[in-house]
Amino acid sequence: MRSRPVPRGVRLYDPATLARLCRARDYLADHFHERPSLSQAAQQAYLSPFYFGRLFAGAFGETPHEFVTRLRIERAKRMLLADHASVTDICFDVGYESLGSFSTRFHLRTGLSPAAFRREARRIFGFRKWRLFYVPACYRHFYLHEQVGGTAVTARHLPPNSPSPGPG
């Protein structure tokens, strides 16, 4: 069997290096709220901080800082939707030391301030349904009796022996 050529721009890593990078990424994911340093993450991969940053970005498509920021903002979005905690408390819980830097990063990533994000979620999903923000659309359509492809698809409208609609 003939092997395919590797596309341009794709960097191959040996399995040991990739495993060390994944271990460091897992470390960052487990400690994102504690402000881990680049050198701490690089120690997990047994690499110098500079080389670790380059390899991490090449392997995962984002720098370690961008990865931690993305995790923090995703966690903040979940907390804003699920909790009644103040924006300041959420800011500190996800690892930011300044409300201003948190709000700026949140706005850059989502297009809304944290308070506006929470308001919009409540407006769109209603007070009881705003946790549905993280439920896949196909399941929302199925369980909330919404229109899918012009016809209402719900559990009550399916014939007894018909297959249930699949994901997506």
Is position 7 within any domain? no
pLDDT (average), residues 85-94: 94
Predicted confidence (pLDDT) per residue in 38-71, tens digit: 999 999 999 999 999 999 999 999 999 999 999 9
If asked whether residues 113 and 144 sit together in one domain, one would say no
Other C-beta atoms within 10 Å of 79: how many? Answer: 19
Q: How many domains does the chain have?
A: 2
If asked whether residues 114 and 151 sit together in one domain, one would say no
Is position 4 within any domain? no
* Structural domain harbouring 36: 15-119
**Residue 13: what pLDDT?**
72
Question: With contact defined as beta carbons under 8 Å apart, do 75 and 85 qualify?
Answer: no
DSSP 8-state assignment for residue 2 = P
If asked whether residues 25 and 103 sit together in one domain, one would say yes
Is position 5 within any domain? no
If asked whether residues 39 and 80 sit together in one domain, one would say yes
If asked whether residues 145 and 113 sit together in one domain, one would say no
Return the ∠ at Cα 109 (arms to 67 and 137), rounded to 5°. 95
If asked whether residues 55 and 114 sit together in one domain, one would say yes
**Residue 126: what pLDDT?**
66
- Tell me: pLDDT of 128 over 70: no
* Percent of the chain at pLDDT exceeding 90: 50
If asked whether residues 165 and 88 sit together in one domain, one would say no
If asked whether residues 105 and 162 sit together in one domain, one would say no
Question: With contact defined as beta carbons under 8 Å apart, do 119 and 149 qualify?
Answer: no
- Cα 131 to chain centroid distance, Å, stands at 15
If asked whether residues 52 and 103 sit together in one domain, one would say yes
Residue found by looking up tokens 């007894």 in the block? 160
If asked whether residues 24 and 75 sit together in one domain, one would say yes
Q: What does the alpha-carbon distance between residue 65 and residue 22 come to, in Å, rounded to a whole number?
A: 15
Is position 9 within any domain? no
If asked whether residues 28 and 101 sit together in one domain, one would say yes
CA R_g for the chain: 21
Q: Count CA atoms within 13 Å of residue 115 on its CB side.
A: 5
Quick one: pLDDT band at residue 15, thresholds 50, 70, 90?
Answer: confident
Closest CA to 60 of 91, 103, 29: 29
